[in-house]
Homo-oligomer: A and B are copies of this chain.
Amino acid sequence: MKILVTGFEPFAGSDVNPSERAATALTSTPIVGAEVEIALLPCVDGACERVLLDAVRQHTPDITIALGEHGRETGLGFERFALNLRDYRIPDNAGATVTDQPVIRGAPAGYFTKLPVHTLVERARRAGVPSRVSRDAGTFLCNQAYFALLHARAIGDIGCDGIFVHVPRLPEQAAASGKGQPSMVTETVVRGLRATMDALVGTSGA
């Protein structure tokens, strides 16, 4: 099985992104039964989904796990749904903000992932990693990339299933913000994602 893991570049003034760190770290140790490729997405409206789909076409994975940072997450947030909506006030890395626009005009209102989110959460928890099922991926770039991925799959443009997983900020980011944000080190994120992949591959490891 081939798995593509994507992370986002830093944004909103930070010089690091925990999703990029986790994606990179996942390649350092082999997963039994899986070949892992990674890609880095820009935090730019329109560009993030283009780069994601290009990576899917290049690597032709069986499954894509897209990662993104979330300042209020205390653990891994497995997103079960992508909305056909862009609506955000925090500027992307090109300075754009968007109100009430679709991700893809004329596409359906939303898509559920076909992957078993409750099972994945259960497996990550059993590996000792705080995790939850999240109902929607928001209306910022993470959702945008996720929606584009699930739509491309639905219309047959690509052949891989996908899941979006939000991860907490790194301790050093939360420390610098001084706002009491929860955090998680990359090692813990990676342990949860490896348990997730083990579940997807169908091996018994955890």
A interface residues with partner B (beta carbon < 8 Å): 74-75, 80-81, 83-85, 99-100, 108-112, 118, 124-132, 135-136, 138-139, 171-172, 174-176, 178, 180-185, 187-188
Nearest B residue to A172, CB-CB: B128
Across the interface, name the chain B residue whose C-beta is closest to A135. Answer: B136
Known contacts being A100-B118, A109-B109, A138-B135, is A171 close to B183, with CB within 8 Å?
no
Enumerate chain B residues within 8 angstroms of A85, measured Cβ to Cβ.
80-81, 112
**Which residues on B sit within 8 Å (CB–CB) of A138?**
135
Give the residue name and chain of the B residue nearest to A80 (CB).
Answer: B85
Asked if A81 contacts B109 (CB within 8 A), the reply is: yes
In the complex, are the beta carbons of A74 and B185 less than 8 A apart?
Answer: no
Q: How far is the CA of A112 from the CA of B136 in the complex (A)?
A: 13
Nearest CB of chain B from residue A171's CB, rounded to whole Å? 5
Check if A125 sits within 8 Å of B178, measured CB to CB: yes
> Shortest CB–CB separation between residue A142 and chain B, in angstroms?
13
Q: Which of B81, B124, B127, B175 meets A131, CB within 8 Å?
A: B175
Q: Among A118, A182, A184, which residue has the most Cβ atoms of chain B within 10 A? A: A182
Assess A81 versus B110: contact at CB under 8 Å? Given A74-B181, A132-B180: yes
